[in-house]
Amino acid sequence: MNQTVNAEERAPIGHIAFIMDGNGRWAKQRGMPREYGHRFGVKAFQRILEHCRDLGVQTVTVYAFSTENWKRPKKEVDAIMKLMDQYLTECEKKIERYNFRICFLGSKAAFDDKRRTRMEKLEKQTAGRLQTLNIALNYGGRDEIVHACNRLIAQGVREVTEESFASALYTAKSEDPDLIIRTGGDLRISNFLLWQAAYAELYFTDVLWPDFGPAELDAAIEDFYKRKRRYGGV
């Protein structure tokens, strides 16, 4: 039986989140340093973001740098931060034509004033855009949950609901992810969107992130549409 669902019968995917894994191995396969892989990782991210824009995906979330990634060698951390700064510059340059509302997930306290100001300015300038790009930077799911608890305590809240808790998370402005894609072959969540992933469909592929392109995303989406989402019901 052909399981493919006609495009017109499909509810659009609201939110796709990506664990962009495999940059280091991709570089190693080419006899290059890990930073080389991250550089091509950014190119893959840009292609995927454009594809998501064209598909009308409401929210795209990318795991760019985790709270644990600070443990990597300084040279690699510096290279990723430099790539991030270059991306900020690119967004600033084409701000009028930039399609996405940018939100950074994670504590900005880890960054110097200059980078933090640029991040906050981009968030403000893109606030009215219809599609959302969440960039998880210095992000960890556990850190986010602890941060939300402390926020609520500081507000004097004595009882929380699922809704009030969700609104204290970094993702307060986004719906929960429908589909989480992890490239690079590992079968784990790695502290990503722990609360929000409750009913997400998970898709794992061996493809290394720099090789993950529109055709690979289309295959993941095709797979998503074959899933039966029951949310605990029957």
- Residues at the contact surface with ligand FPP, assessed by CB under 6 A: 20-25, 34, 38, 41-42, 45, 62, 64, 69, 80, 83-84, 87, 135, 184
Catalytic residue among 2, 6, 21, 85: 21
Q: Supply the minimum distance, in Å, between the C-beta of residue 143 and ligand FPP.
A: 16
C-alpha distances (whole Å) from 228 to each of 158, 168, 203, 219, 224 are 38, 30, 14, 17, 9
Question: CB 38 → ligand FPP: shortest distance, Å?
Answer: 5
**143 or 168: whose CB is closer to ligand FPP?**
143
Q: Is 150 a catalytic residue?
A: no
Catalytic residue among 2, 23, 69, 218: 69
Tell me, letter by letter, the H, E, C secondary structure of 64-110: EEECCHHHCCHHHHHHHHHHHHHHHHHHHHCHHHCCEEEEEECCHHH
- 3-class SS of residue 224: helix
Kind of pairing, strands 59-66 and 131-139?
A: parallel
The tally of CA atoms less than 13 A away on the side-chain side of residue 214 is: 9
Q: How far apart are CA 51 and CA 48, in angstroms?
A: 5
User: 């509810």: which residue's tokens?
Assistant: 11
Min separation Cβ 1 and ligand FPP, Å: 37
Question: Do the strands 131-139 and 15-19 form a parallel or antiparallel pair, or are they unpaired?
Answer: unpaired
Of the pair 34, 101, the CB lying nearest ligand FPP is at 34
Q: How many angstroms separate the CA atoms of 66 and 43, rounded? A: 19
The residue among 133 and 148 lying less far from ligand FPP, judged by its C-beta, is 133
Cβ nearer to ligand FPP, comparing 140 with 184: 184
* Closest approach of ligand FPP to the CB of residue 157, in Å: 33
| Residue nearest ligand FPP, Cβ-based | 24
Q: Is 69 a catalytic residue?
A: yes
Residues recognised as catalytic: 21, 69
